[in-house]
Structure 1
Amino acid sequence: MARWSTGPRRRAVATAAAVTATAAAFGVLGAGAAVAKAPAASAAPAVTRAAIDPALTAGRGATVPFAEQEAEHATTNGTVIGPGRDAYTLPAEASGRSAVTLKPGQYVEFTLPSAANAINVRYSIPDAPAGGGLTSPLKVGVGGATRTMTLTSQYAWLYNLYPFSNDPGADILHPDYWVTECSCVPQDTTPAPVFAKPFRPNHFYDEQRLLLGRTYKAGQKVRLTVPAGAATTTIDLLDSQLVAPPKIDLLAANVLLFGADPTGRRDSAGAIEKAVAFAQRSHLKVYIPPGTYQVDRHIIVDHVTIEGAGSWYTIIKGHQVDLATPAPDGSVHTGVGFYGKDAAQGGSSDVHLSGFAIQGDVRERIDTDQVNGIGGALSNSTIDGLYIQHTKVGMWFDGPMTNLKITNNVIVDQIADGINFHTGVTRSSISNNFLRNTGDDALALWSEKTEDVGNTIDHNTVQTPVLANGIALYGGSDNTVADNLIADPIREGSAIQVGSRFGAEPFTGKLAITGNTTVRAGTYELNWNIGLGAIWFYALEKNIDADIQVTGDHFLDSTYNAIMLVSDFPVKDLYSITGVHFKDIQVDGTGTSVLSARTAGGATFQNVDARNVGAVGVNNCGSFNFTPAGSEFAVTDLGGNDGGGTTGPWLAPWELPNTITCDDRPAVVPPPPPTTW
């Protein structure tokens, strides 16, 4: 196991490309990525969840108002790319690890599975040669009418090492970092050699919504065509939806009465602030009617309810603005966002935000910047039905704070996290939200300095986090992660991570991870040169020894292991992982093992059923001391552990309790697609 460098906030070492960066930068597939012509005709519309049969995810993930259809299942005369899971390639970042690439004149055609008056297209177009993005048209034909969407890559295409660059010609950002770009793992950090430019392009996709102007029936066709002279365009998927009419609230402080401009030509921040102040005095709600409102700074909210007409109609849009001097918190920019007061100032309370979109203009990652969609500290508050795009983090909260409920939101195309409860957030919940294409952990509880306690993350859908994890837990007490659907993490992370890292307080009390489904999870960690598990326990800074119950989870089509418990090599004899209990688990397909143990400690297993396992069921390396007494990690069989794969039963008697079965980097056997158990 190699060394890991965490950096000031997030990981400071990026993984190695499995294909050349130059090829990926121009949309060329690397070795091993499949390319095929799609059939000229398709069967009935294939509606998926996380690119698999919805029957496999029943009861898990968010209930959403749209139908997801993968482009590779639609009718096209373009080229199907993938499936492929190698980072820094277009297939790897696509939902389901496959998409359709269209040259000018080519199309992909979807059949509406139900009535719809709105669509959302997830796509990728090339970057400008010098970076900064470009725009390109896409024709949308439906019911005899044709509209044009203007696609952009201005919010895509990052390069280089963390925290990344927008310049495809940039030299290595950190020449002193260990940059793994070969099949070997050097014993010592060495200066980075010269690499092809652009180096490690990533974050290829973006998405765009379109109201169609009328309702179309189930069975009608939506054809996306790349016109002559346009850029080569990769279509990942289409979401179709029947959007309700705009909500009207006459008994509220309407921002138009205070001078807000629904055309977006004039800045409306001052008008919205006046409406908020009036509503606070008059005990009214604030209503923001349909329109696009330019807001280039934070709106501070406290004891107020702000409602829009619906996230398709009320759009709060802002530029990223340079600050004349850095703010006390280190920010060098500001931008659109609704913020509670700082926790140090007592925070805000009784804030209720619903029914509007926040669209930012963030194109680079600066960790000190407060350019998030929602921020500050909000207690006894609710956030419901928002659409947040192109901010740094969708929602980032710095506690202490309590009793915040986040429900029914869509957060896409973020430079960093989706939602992060940071420092002393208690008795709060994140429920029934949909997140796609975050640039870091999609959902996180980060107990830095003060524990996050008694929180629940449930019934959320997370797709394609480009970096890090779907759901990450860094310390805390008595938290619950339940009934979520997490698919397709791309690099340096897993679907679910339980990590002692980033200066987090220890795990205490009980942690319940129950009823979740992961799909195509577990990335290749090239800093260590190994594959991660779909669920990943990581003891880097402290022991992990709380009561951790992993119950009823389904791990589907795991790229490497289903379960990994690991300590970093330099601290392998200092920290261990104990108190983890796996029960009533289904593992359907692993590229390698069911369990990979690379730490001291132990775990119990009961009614863990597995099939299509690619390697030895238990890959037990312990702390790599290989003692005569066996591995330092104990596997306790509580019964009912059935099934296996190519090497026999996944939990064989000879493996118990601590047989050394260490294959440091086992060969990967791609499993068949998951099916109903």
Structure 2
Amino acid sequence: MPRPITGTGTGTRRSRGPLRRVATAVATAATVALGLLPGGTALATTGAKGGASATPVVTRAALAPSLVAGRGASLGMAEQEAENAATNGTVIGPDRTAYTLPAEASGRKAVRLTPGQYVEFTLPSTANAITVRYSIPDAPHGGGITAPLDVTVNGANRSTMTLTSQYAWLYNQYPFSNDPGAGLLHPDWWITECSCVPAATTPAPAVPTPFRPNHFYDEQRLLLGRTYHAGDKVRLTVPAGSRAASTVIDLLDSELVGAPHIDVVAANVLAFGADPSGRRDSADAFDKAIAFAKRARLKVYIPAGTYQVNRHIIVDQVTIEGAGSWYTVIKGHQVDLRSPAPDGSVHTGVGFYGKDASAGGSSDVHLSGFAIEGDVRERIDTDQVNGIGGAMSDSTIDGLYIHHTKVGMWFDGPMTNLKITDNVITDQIADGINFHTGVTRSVVSNNFLRNTGDDALAMWSEKTGNARNTFDHNTVQTPVLANGIALYGGTDNTVSNNLVADPIREGSGIQVGSRFGAEAFTGHLWITGNTTVRAGTYEMNWNIGLGAIWFYALEKDIDADIQVVGDTFLDNTYNAVMLVADFPVKDLYSITNVHFKDIRVDGTGTSVVSARAAGSASFENVDARHVGAVGVNNCGSFNFTPAGSEFSLIDLGGNDGGGTTGAWLAPWELPNTITCDDRPPVVTPPAPSPW
């Protein structure tokens, strides 16, 4: 029976076709065991108490910064994992099993606090602002709760954050439910936990509820009111009487936020009736300020405050500046439409949108220095409730904080020359940033994305190819579903110097996929200088582990010139590299012309390369260590011909290192020895270390 994919795509207006098994045999996967705390919290492995050291441990993607130097974004945040801080709570994890709290935590560990317990961070540098990533239980019947968290610095200056789970806790199959008691959304889909299709099973199996809880975490920012220094101690305490039976703290980011930006020579939205208290809707005032600024050839300035905006603000040939994303907040409610819009939307909400490409698109739009706080609590793929949308050419988006929208930024071309820099996008229901179709000569650089509900960064050439775009020096953490970075077709695109950590399920660090109706890959694709950490998830529909980088030929051959050069794959849960075709099309499509050079692989649970398609790839100076299984798992297209596998490995020299079975690329494996093992035992590698 077909195994449906349950969300390995980009998010808006996408048809989710079935993902079918790669091999003919269907194996039973272990049922994901979820313990339930009061309120529905999923509890995984419990570890020891946190340490009492006052020495701050600063990490990047939960690793020593030296291990990922030169990769990812640099936005001035100091990351401190709760499991490295002083606490009288309980460390949970490590665990990479989907649908568990540790699996969705940065570094796969966190600290659980009950009322009266704390976790205390020692500031590593001067800071006046913090971001706390946390999880609290859902309400028993869904919808979320709120609960307090006390913040003190050096035992004084107490503040109380009001945490919420109203934007967390999804359940069931794609596109998910907010109801923990809901039955299966798709009874005809393959269910890994029982190795069955319930609609075709007599009697139909009882699927436990809540079924597949996920998207547990949220985050909240807090200005501390004054500047503190290295060595000062920030304590987070769950007060007695908290409604949350437990509060899980994942990490704390601290930073020094500059003074508010002020522009006196601009069209100030206050002059047009905008309300900085957030009590009245300011959308019309924004429109008036934009219209005036365009006539007067001025910028629009939004001073510090919280502004209620409950619909799209259409932008074209205008510059809009805030006082800074910590000071200027544009916040809106999700609003039901009286009837569906032509694009299928049934809601609207806060967002800044260029004109639709069919109307010519927008140009010369420049947005900077404000936050967008949405109100999206469910995934409806037809809804246009994204932070930024439409088409914008010759434009810039810089220094925004986008939170609780569906997709942070979603662009439908044709459009060209868009630069997206220095933004923070977190806690999205779907993607972080998606170049959907016809986006050219555009750059996404130095952005930080965490806890997206689908691909964090994507180029999806569904109708018209994306071409000559670059994703460079971005950091992606904990995408709950799908991939850190995904490329679906396109021409002459580049993915460089990014850091991708902790993908959770049905995706991995980087994917190159011929799927979702995408145009073919043509020209070249350069994937250079990236680092993935703890990537390679367990694909529950296939019952196999994925690679940290994976190539997937589902609808077309992949045969563009693909250069994977200078990348590092750290602490891979399964394989570092996977090349795969879906089983029903295994004899139709192949993967060729892929070249790996100057690669480092530090730790694999299974193999370095897993080939499950026809085709070939070349390898040069690929060094590996701590390899858990045979270096190459070569199944080809599963025809097992007397001449060997249909997939060939080309050894261009300098491929060194290996693991428990010897050299990872041994002469006896070349060029196409069948070494097929669908599900080899997983060997946990040691933690990454300097090469």
Shorter-normalised TM-score: what interval? over 0.9
Contact preservation (8 Å) 2:3, 2:189: no
State the alpha-carbon separation in 2 of the partners of residues 426 and 236 from structure 1: 37
- Residue 646 of structure 2 corresponds to residue 632 of structure 1: yes
- Residue 14 of structure 2 corresponds to residue 9 of structure 1: yes
Any idea what the Cα deviations from partners look like across 1:160-197, whole Å, max 9, x if unmatched?
00000001111111111111114x57899658622111
The residue aligned with 1:91 is 102
The residue aligned with 2:399 is 385
Q: Work out which of the residue numbers 149, 162, 165 in structure 1 matches 2:161.
A: 149
Contact preservation (8 Å) 1:435, 1:442: yes
Q: Percent identity?
A: 79
- Residue 232 of structure 2 corresponds to residue 210 of structure 1: no
What displacement does 1:27 show?
2.6
Aligned amino acid, residue 607 of structure 1: N
State the alpha-carbon separation in 2 of the partners of residues 441 and 259 from structure 1: 38
Contact preservation (8 Å) 2:361, 2:393: yes
Distance verdict in 2 for CA 1:304–1:103, change over 3 Å = same
State the alpha-carbon separation in 2 of the partners of residues 119 and 23 from structure 1: 30
What displacement does 1:254 show?
0.2
Q: Work out which of the residue numbers 422, 428, 439 in structure 2 matches 1:414.
A: 428
- Residue 36 of structure 2 corresponds to residue 23 of structure 1: yes
Any idea what the Cα deviations from partners look like across 1:629-675, whole Å, max 9, x if unmatched?
00000000000000000111000000000000001101000000001
Q: Work out which of the residue numbers 511, 516, 522 in structure 1 matches 2:525.
A: 511
What displacement does 1:29 show?
2.6
Contact preservation (8 Å) 1:13, 1:527: no
Q: For residue 234 of structure 2, give the secondary structure of its aligned residue in structure 1.
A: strand
Q: For residue 453 of structure 1, give the secondary structure of its aligned residue in structure 2.
A: coil
The residue aligned with 1:468 is 482
Aligned ranges for residues 529-568 of structure 1 at < 5 Å?
Answer: 529-568=543-582
Contact preservation (8 Å) 2:168, 2:216: yes
State the alpha-carbon separation in 2 of the partners of residues 17 and 484 from structure 1: 34
State the alpha-carbon separation in 1 of the partners of residues 399 and 522 from structure 2: 33
Any idea what the Cα deviations from partners look like across 1:413-440, whole Å, max 9, x if unmatched?
0000000001110000100000000000
The residue aligned with 1:56 is 67
Q: For residue 103 of structure 2, give the secondary structure of its aligned residue in structure 1.
A: helix
Does 1-10 or 651-660 show the bigger shift?
1-10
State the alpha-carbon separation in 2 of the partners of residues 149 and 5 from structure 1: 38
The residue aligned with 1:160 is 172
Distance verdict in 2 for CA 1:136–1:17, change over 3 Å = farther
State the alpha-carbon separation in 2 of the partners of residues 13 and 170 from structure 1: 22
Q: Work out which of the residue numbers 133, 137, 140 in structure 1 matches 2:148.
A: 137
TM-score, normalising length: structure 2? 0.95
Aligned amino acid, residue 208 of structure 2: A
State the alpha-carbon separation in 1 of the partners of residues 172 and 4 from structure 2: 17
Contact preservation (8 Å) 1:85, 1:91: yes
What displacement does 1:28 show?
4.2
What displacement does 1:64 show?
1.4
Contact preservation (8 Å) 1:21, 1:197: no
Q: Work out which of the residue numbers 276, 280, 287 in structure 2 matches 1:273.
A: 287
The residue aligned with 2:374 is 360
- Residue 236 of structure 2 corresponds to residue 224 of structure 1: yes
State the alpha-carbon separation in 2 of the partners of residues 448 and 291 from structure 1: 39
What displacement does 1:623 show?
0.4
TM-score, normalising length: structure 1? 0.97
Contact preservation (8 Å) 2:188, 2:198: no
Distance verdict in 2 for CA 1:186–1:618, change over 3 Å = farther
Contact preservation (8 Å) 2:579, 2:591: yes
Aligned amino acid, residue 215 of structure 2: H
Aligned ranges for residues 443-482 of structure 1 at < 5 Å?
Answer: 443-482=457-496
- Measured on the aligned residues, the alpha-carbon RMSD in Å equals 1.7
Contact preservation (8 Å) 1:113, 1:219: yes
State the alpha-carbon separation in 2 of the partners of residues 388 and 610 from structure 1: 38
What displacement does 1:449 show?
1.2
State the alpha-carbon separation in 2 of the partners of residues 80 and 2 from structure 1: 40
State the alpha-carbon separation in 1 of the partners of residues 240 and 627 from structure 2: 47
Count of residue pairs the alignment pairs up = 673
Q: Work out which of the residue numbers 318, 335, 343 in structure 2 matches 1:321.
A: 335
The residue aligned with 2:55 is 44
Q: For residue 193 of structure 2, give the secondary structure of its aligned residue in structure 1.
A: coil
State the alpha-carbon separation in 1 of the partners of residues 309 and 251 from structure 2: 30
State the alpha-carbon separation in 2 of the partners of residues 556 and 459 from structure 1: 17
What displacement does 1:35 show?
2.3
Distance verdict in 2 for CA 1:544–1:122, change over 3 Å = same
State the alpha-carbon separation in 1 of the partners of residues 321 and 241 from structure 2: 42
State the alpha-carbon separation in 2 of the partners of residues 526 and 197 from structure 1: 18
Q: For residue 107 of structure 2, give the secondary structure of its aligned residue in structure 1.
A: helix
Q: Work out which of the residue numbers 485, 492, 503 in structure 2 matches 1:489.
A: 503
Contact preservation (8 Å) 1:17, 1:87: no
State the alpha-carbon separation in 2 of the partners of residues 12 and 447 from structure 1: 17
Distance verdict in 2 for CA 1:187–1:267, change over 3 Å = closer
Contact preservation (8 Å) 1:17, 1:88: no
- Residue 388 of structure 2 corresponds to residue 374 of structure 1: yes
What displacement does 1:42 show?
1.4
Q: For residue 276 of structure 1, give the secondary structure of its aligned residue in structure 2.
A: helix
Q: Work out which of the residue numbers 105, 118, 128 in structure 1 matches 2:139.
A: 128
State the alpha-carbon separation in 2 of the partners of residues 411 and 382 from structure 1: 16
State the alpha-carbon separation in 2 of the partners of residues 248 and 228 from structure 1: 42
Contact preservation (8 Å) 2:188, 2:199: no
State the alpha-carbon separation in 1 of the partners of residues 553 and 568 from structure 2: 23
Contact preservation (8 Å) 2:6, 2:175: no
The residue aligned with 1:251 is 265
What displacement does 1:332 show?
0.2
Aligned amino acid, residue 174 of structure 1: H
- Residue 351 of structure 2 corresponds to residue 344 of structure 1: no
- Residue 89 of structure 2 corresponds to residue 78 of structure 1: yes
Q: For residue 290 of structure 2, give the secondary structure of its aligned residue in structure 1.
A: helix
State the alpha-carbon separation in 2 of the partners of residues 303 and 186 from structure 1: 53
